[in-house]
Amino acid sequence: MITVDEIADLVRAEMRGKSPRKSNMDKKTSIDELGLSSLQLATIVFTLEEEHGIEVDPARAAGVRTLGDLAGLGNEALASAPR
User: What residues have CB less than 8 Å from 48, skipping those under 6 apart?
Assistant: 2, 7, 10, 54, 56, 70, 74
SS (H, E, C) 40-79: HHHHHHHHHHHHHCCCCCHHHHHCCCEHHHHHHHHHHHHH
The model's pLDDT over 58-83, given as tens digits with 9 standing for 90+, comes to 999 999 999 999 999 999 999 998 87
pTM of this structure: 0.88
Predicted confidence (pLDDT) per residue in 9-57, tens digit: 999 899 876 666 667 899 999 999 898 899 999 999 999 999 999 999 9
Structural domains in the chain, sorted by start? 4-80 (1.10.1200.10)
